[in-house]
Amino acid sequence: MASKLFLLMKSPHEFTGLGMMKNLAGQDRSAVILFEDAVYYAVDKKRGSELISAVKDVYVIADDLAAKGFEGKADSGFKVIDYPAAVDLIMEQFDQTITL
Amino acid sequence: MASSILVLITKPPYGYEEAFAGTRLGLGMLSSGNVEKCSILLVGDGTLNAIATQRPEAVRMPSNMEALQDMTDFDSKVYCVRSDLEERVGDVKTLGFIEMIDWETARKVLAEHEMVTTF
Amino acid sequence: MKTLVIQLRTGTMMNMDSNVAVKLAQAAVEKGYDVRIFGYGEGIMLVKDGQEPKRFPNVGAETKELVEKKHVEVAVCNTCCAARGLRRGEEIPGMKVGSLTNDLSRYVAESAKMVTIAR
């Protein structure tokens, strides 16, 4: 089976595909990178914990988090990364990249 | 160097252009000769594209049904997750050329392709 | 070195998707990867020459720099351009009004990974 890296841009209140994400991931190694409005997951206790329980690792793009006023405020369990780290995840760490 | 790509369709027909555009992408890959394998997997709201009684002429839209069927001209497969469709609209008639599958099979289909693109 | 293909389907001023695509491309080339960008659907606007957004980042100009200095290849779907009235000759020099069949399929075949930037 293939390891999967999900990319998410939608806010926690706009994104309705968490069940789909779990179904796509199955038992395979999976993670998600949060871009743009999706970074609000990192400060949304309820939906953030649901997301963390769905995949192995959750990464947050630092500049989007800072732009929205939450620099240094991501809940524990969210790994704040820059674009070079995102590229490394995409190119080297996972088999497939799936935008939801 | 990828030789296979899966088109994952998550949007319903005749509203968003996505499902049609995803199918056109699939046809482009298959007709190019550059990509050996390209399949389509309907999931979530994308499963609504499998319904056999669609009448796109009612909104003057091109038919997603015909676009999907064109994939079969290249011996390519179109899959649909049955449970996602049933969850949305119950037990409805689906297009005969579409293979109705469960999530476990869908994950196997996913693993058969190197790249995935979402519509 | 491995190649990354970025498929962009959002217009330049709709949201920050185009900025994300450009930032991923910039980071990838800085790390030594080759990058291809294909604009599909609303994503064709990336190549429109003469973009002059006030206060917002100019993704057209940033992409042009990637093309000129980092050998990034950029093409967009000609059918999508025709639908939106973007004519050949209106694209930024060095970028291509191309097709799924001739360009995206080649990008897929040349690339190790694909990222889809869309909503």
CATH no. for B4-118: 3.40.1260.10
Chain C residues with CB under 8 Å of A88 CB are 31
Give tens-digit pLDDT for B9-65: 999 999 999 999 999 999 999 999 999 999 999 999 999 999 999 999 999 999 999
Q: How many domains does chain C have?
A: 1
Tell me whether residues C27 and A83 touch, CB distance under 8 A. Answer: yes
Chain B residues with CB under 8 Å of C118 CB are 18, 118-119
Q: Helix axis angle, C59-70 relative to C17-30, nearest 10°?
A: 20
The pLDDT value given to residue C68: 98
User: C94 CB near a chain A CB, below 8 Å?
Assistant: no
The pLDDT value given to residue A100: 98
Could you write out the three-class secondary structure of A37-68?
HHHHHHHCHHHHHHHHHHCCEEEEEHHHHHHC
CB contacts under 8 A, B 32-61 vs C, are 32-35
Give tens-digit pLDDT for C62-75: 999 999 999 999 99
User: A15 CB near a chain C CB, below 8 Å?
Assistant: no
Output the DSSP codes for chain B. Answer: ---EEEEEE-S-SSSSSHHHHHHHHHHHHHHHSS-SEEEEEE-GGGGGGGBTT--GGGGT---HHHHHHHHHTTT--EEEEHHHHHHHH-S--B-TTSEEE-HHHHHHHHHT-SEEEE-
User: A93 CB near a chain C CB, below 8 Å?
Assistant: no
With a pLDDT cut of 70, the percent of chain B lying above it is: 100
pLDDT at position C21 over 80? yes
Q: Tell me how far apart the alpha carbons of residues C9 and C38 are, in angstroms, rounded to a whole number.
A: 9
With a pLDDT cut of 90, the percent of chain B lying above it is: 99
The pLDDT value given to residue C5: 98
In this prediction, residues B84-90 reach a mean pLDDT of 98
CA distances (Å), origin C79, targets B32, C38, C49? 16, 13, 18
Establish if C111 belongs to a structural domain.
yes
Across chain B, what does the average pLDDT equal?
97
Domain harbouring C109, CATH code: 3.40.1260.10
Establish if C76 belongs to a structural domain.
yes
Residue-number span of the structural domain to which C111 is assigned: 3-31+61-117
Q: Tell me how far apart the alpha carbons of residues C107 and C98 are, in angstroms, rounded to a whole number.
A: 12
The pLDDT value given to residue C92: 98
The pLDDT value given to residue B57: 97
Which sequence spans correspond to the domains of chain A? 4-99
Q: In the structure encoding, which two tokens stand for residue A77, read together?
A: 């369990």
The pLDDT value given to residue C71: 96
Across chain A, what does the average pLDDT equal?
97
Establish if C68 belongs to a structural domain.
yes
Which sequence spans correspond to the domains of chain B? 4-118
The pLDDT value given to residue C45: 98
Tell me whether residues C17 and A36 touch, CB distance under 8 A. Answer: yes
The pLDDT value given to residue A1: 77
Establish if C101 belongs to a structural domain.
yes
User: C62 CB near a chain A CB, below 8 Å?
Assistant: no
All residue ranges of chain A with pLDDT < 50 are none
Tell me whether residues A26 and B107 touch, CB distance under 8 A. Answer: yes
Tell me whether residues B116 and A23 touch, CB distance under 8 A. Answer: no
Establish if C43 belongs to a structural domain.
no
Give tens-digit pLDDT for A41-62: 999 999 999 999 999 999 999 9
ipTM of the complex: 0.96
User: C32 CB near a chain A CB, below 8 Å?
Assistant: no
Fold assignment, A4-99: Hypothetical Protein Ychn; Chain: A, (3.40.1260)
User: C108 CB near a chain B CB, below 8 Å?
Assistant: yes
Q: Is the pTM of this model over 0.80?
A: yes
Give tens-digit pLDDT for C95-105: 999 999 999 99
Establish if C99 belongs to a structural domain.
yes
Q: Rounded to a whole number, what is the distance in Å from the CA of A62 to chain C's nearest CA?
A: 12
